[in-house]
Amino acid sequence: MRKIELNRSTKETEIVVKLTIDGTGNGTIKTGIPFFDHMLHAMVKHGGFDLDCRVVGDLLVDCHHTVEDTGIVLGDAIKQVIGDGKGIRRFAHAIIPMDESIAQVALDCGGRGYLVYDGEFNGASVGGIQSDIFEHFFYTLCTKAGITAHITFSGRNDHHQCEAVFKAFGIALAQALTMSGKKGVPSTKGKF
C-alpha cells in the first residue's frame, strides 16, 4: 500500500494523516505550530510525496505532545508503506546544503528503528519551539517506522540547519521507498 490514511486520538492530541508516497510534493499541514508545519512542508516538497496532516494538540501545555504524536502517526504510516519490504530500494542518503548549513541523512528502511543524531542548534529554540524537540520527532518517527537513520548537521543559522535536515530526510526517505524493480525483499535474510 503506497497510500495510507491513519487517525490517532488521545487525551493530548487528535491526528489525521493521509500519506501518499508516490505523490507530487503537495501538502496540507496544520499542526498548530507554524514552524513545524514549515519543516514538514519542506520534507514533503523535496521528498515528492503528498501529506495531509491535521493535528489538534494540547498546545496550551507546550508543543511536545503535538510534535511527538505527529512522529508516531507518520512513523506508523511509513511502516505500512514499507510493509514486508518487497521491491523497495531500502537504503538511501542525501546531503543538502542551505546557505552556510549542511545536513546529511542516511536511511535504512529495513525494519530496525534506530537514530543517530549528531548536530547542535545554537539556541534553545528554533522557530519559537524548543530545539531539542526535533531530535525527539525523528527518534519517534524512526522507531515507529522501523527505520535506522543517521542525521548529521552543522551551520550557524538554526532555521537553515533545521530546514536542511527536514529536506534531506524527505529526499532520502523518498529514495529508500522507491520501487527498485527487483522482486523480493532487499535482505540477505529474505525478510525484514
Can you tell me the mean pLDDT for 47-56?
Answer: 97
Q: Is the pLDDT of residue 183 over 60?
A: yes
**Which run of H or of E encompasses 40?**
helix 34-47
Higher pLDDT, 14 or 2: 14
Residue with cell 494523516: 17
Q: Is the pLDDT of residue 184 over 90?
A: no
Lowest-confidence pick of 86-95, 155-164, 174-183: 174-183
Can you tell me the mean pLDDT for 24-51?
Answer: 97
- pLDDT class for 187, splitting at 50, 70, 90? confident
pLDDT tens digits, residue range 35-46? 999 999 999 999
Please list, residue by residue across 73-105, b when 16 or more beta carbons sit within 10 angstroms of its beta carbon and e when fewer do. Answer: bbbbbbbbbbeebebbbbebebebebeebbbbb
- pLDDT class for 180, splitting at 50, 70, 90? confident
Q: Are 15 and 70 in contact (CB under 8 A)?
A: yes
* Per-residue cell: 164: 536542511
73 three-class SS: helix
Phi, psi of 132 (to 5 degrees): -75, -10
Domain boundaries, the chain: 3-176
Burial of 181 (0-12, 13-18, 19+ CB in 10 A): exposed
% the chain with pLDDT above 90? 91
pTM of the model: 0.94
Residue with cell 514533503: 44
- CATH superfamily ID and name for 3-176: Imidazole glycerol phosphate dehydratase; domain 1 (3.30.230.40)
How far apart are alpha carbons 53 and 74 in whole angstroms? 9
